Chains A and B, each alone.
Chain A
Amino acid sequence: MLQIDHYHVAYGQSEVLHGLDFTVAPGEIVAIMGRNGMGKTTLMKSLMGIVPTSQGSAQVDGIDVTALKSFERVSRGIAYVPQGRMIFPTMTVQENIETGLTTSGSTKVPDGIYELFPVLLDMKSRRGGNLSGGQQQQLAIARALATNPKVLLLDEPTEGIQPSIIREMARVLKRIRDERGLSIIVSEQVLSFALDVADRILVLENGRLVHDEPRSSVDEAKVAGFLSV
C-alpha cells in the first residue's frame, strides 16, 4: 500500500533521513520506534508533504506522491495525526471532523466515526480547544479518518495520555484496521503500546532503519536496547 524507496529528507544542508527503504502492506500496522531525534517525526512530516523529500520516492497504492503538496496527498489516501494533536482550537468538535471532508466533498460526518468515538458525539458542539488531551487525540484520529484514507500516519499518539486510554487506543486502531482494511504507520517510544498494536516493528536510529521484524518473532529485549538512552 505504501512503498518508500531510497528516501532522503533534509532540512536545508543537514540531512536527517539517509535513504530509507520499506513497504507497508494493506491492512498492516507498522510501528516505527526510536529515541528522540532519530527522525521519526521528520519521516511522518515528509510523508505528509510538510517537509520536502530531497531524494527517493514514496508511493501510495502504486501512485507516486513525492512531488505532491499536502492537500493533494490527502486525496491520494494519506491521513495524518500529528504529534501534539493539532486540532483546530476555536472550532467545534463537529467542525473539526468536517474539515476532513474537504477532499470527499461530502457534507455529513460518516456514522462510523461517531461509533468509534462515542465521546465525540456527546461533545460535538464543544470547542476543540476545551477538550482533554485524550479526547483531542480521539478527535485528531476522527478528523484523519474523515478523509477516508488508505494509509494512516500517527506520530507518537501515546504522548501525554493516561495508560488506560493508551490500551483503549490500541484496541481502536486495530478495530479501524479490521473494519476499513487500511494501513497504519505509528511512530512510538512506548514499547508496550507498539507490541500491543503493531504487526511489524521497525527501529529508526540516526536516520537509518536498523531493525525490521514481525511482531510474532520480535525480541523485546533487543528492541528495548535500541530505545534505552
Chain B
Amino acid sequence: MFADYTWTELGSIFAMQGFAGLILFSVFVLMALGLAIIFGQMGVINMAHGEFMILGAYVTYLCSNFFQAFLPGLFSIYFFIAMALAFVAAGALGAFVEWALIRHLYKRPLDTLLATWGLSLIMQQAYRSIFGAREVGVTLPDWLLGSIALTDIIEIPINGLFVMALTLVIAVGVYFLMFKSRMGMQTRAVVQNRVMAGAVGINTEWVDRKTYALGCGIAGIAGSAFTMIGSTGPTAGQLYIVDTFLIVVFGGAASLLGTIASSFAISQAQSTMEFFLSGSMAKVLTLLTVVGILMLRPEGLFSHKIRR
C-alpha cells in the first residue's frame, strides 16, 4: 500500500495525517476529560455525554448566528463567549439532570446506563424538534480560517492549532481542579468512600452535583470545539460516545493522564490507518488492539498501584 508514493510524499502524508490525528486527539481529550470525571471518578455511565457535547455545539451555532446578526463588530471574538456559554449551559443542564435523575441511582451504577441512554434519546429528539433534523454549521471568524504552509506539501490548519491550544488549557485546568484544589480533594474523597466523606464533614450531595455539572460543562466546551471540525446534527454525539468510553476505559478509568495517553494512541492510530485502509478496517484494527491490551491490563493503561 506504500508502493505508489515516494519517500517525501510518505513523510508528508504521515506528518499531515499525524496532525489531523492531533486535532482528533484534542476533541477526544475534551470529550473524554468530562467522561473521565463522570465515569472514572463518580462511576456513573453517562450515555448522554455525547448529547451534552452537542448542546455545546448548538449553543455555539446560536452564538455565531446571534453575533452575525446583531453584533458583527465583535464577530471575531464570539467563539470565546460561545465556549463560556456552552460550558454554562451544559453544566446547568448537568446539575439539573443530577438532581432529577442521577442522584437516585448512585447505589445502582448499571442502571445509570439505561437512565442516561433514555436521557440521550430525549435530548436527541429535543434537538430535532428545535433545530430540525438537518445538520448545521457555524461560520468561523476569519482569523481561524486558512492554514500555515510548513513546506510545499505540508499544511497545518489554524483552527486545528486553536483546538489543540484550547485542549491544553482545559486539560491543565482540570488537572489542577481535581488534584490541587479543595473541590477536587472533596470529589475524590466522596468517590472513594461516600459514607466516610460525609462523616469527615463533606456535603456529599453538593459535591456530587458540582462534579457532574463540571463533567457536563467540559463536554459542552468539547462541543464548541467540535463545531470547528465537523457539522452539528441531532445525532452527531452518538458517533463519538463509543470512542470516548473506549478511551476512558483503555486509559484506566480513574486516571486523567491515562485518559490523555489513550486518546493520543487511539486518535493517531485511527487517523494514520484511515488514510491507507478503509475507515472500518482502521476501526477494527484499533478495537482489536485495545481488546488485546485490556485482556493483559484489565484496569487500563494507567492504574493506581495501591492496596484496596
Contact = CB atoms under 8 A, between A and B. Distances in A.
Contacts of B291: none
Contact of A48 (B193, B197, B199, B307): B199
Contact of B200 (A49, A74, A129, A130): A74
A16 B198 CA distance: 23
Contact of A95 (B185, B198, B199, B204): B185
Interface stretch (A17-25, A100-108, A112-120, A185-193): A100-108
A78 B129 CA distance: 53
B198 A49 contact: yes
A75 B198 CA distance: 11
Given A89-B306, A107-B182, A130-B307, A100 B188 contact: no
Contacts of B200: 74, 79-80, 99-100, 102, 143-144, 146-147
A82 B196 contact: yes
A194 to B, nearest CB: 23
A74 B201 contact: yes
B308 interface: yes
A90 B308 CA distance: 9
B202 interface: yes
Given A127-B306, A130-B306, A88 B203 contact: no
Interface residues of B, number: 22
Contacts of B197: 88, 99
A91 interface: yes
Contacts of B195: 50, 70, 86
A11 interface: no
Interface in B182-225: 182, 185-186, 188-189, 192-193, 195-204
B189 A88 contact: yes
Contacts of B204: 71
A130 B202 CA distance: 24
B199 A80 contact: yes
Contacts of B104: none
Interface of A: 48-50, 69-71, 74-75, 79-80, 82, 86, 88-91, 95, 98-100, 102-103, 107, 127, 129-130, 143-144, 146-147
7 contacts: A71-B203, A89-B308, A95-B185, A100-B201, A102-B200, A103-B201, A143-B200
The 4 A-B pairs of least Cβ separation, nearest first, read: A74-B201, A70-B198, A129-B306, A103-B201
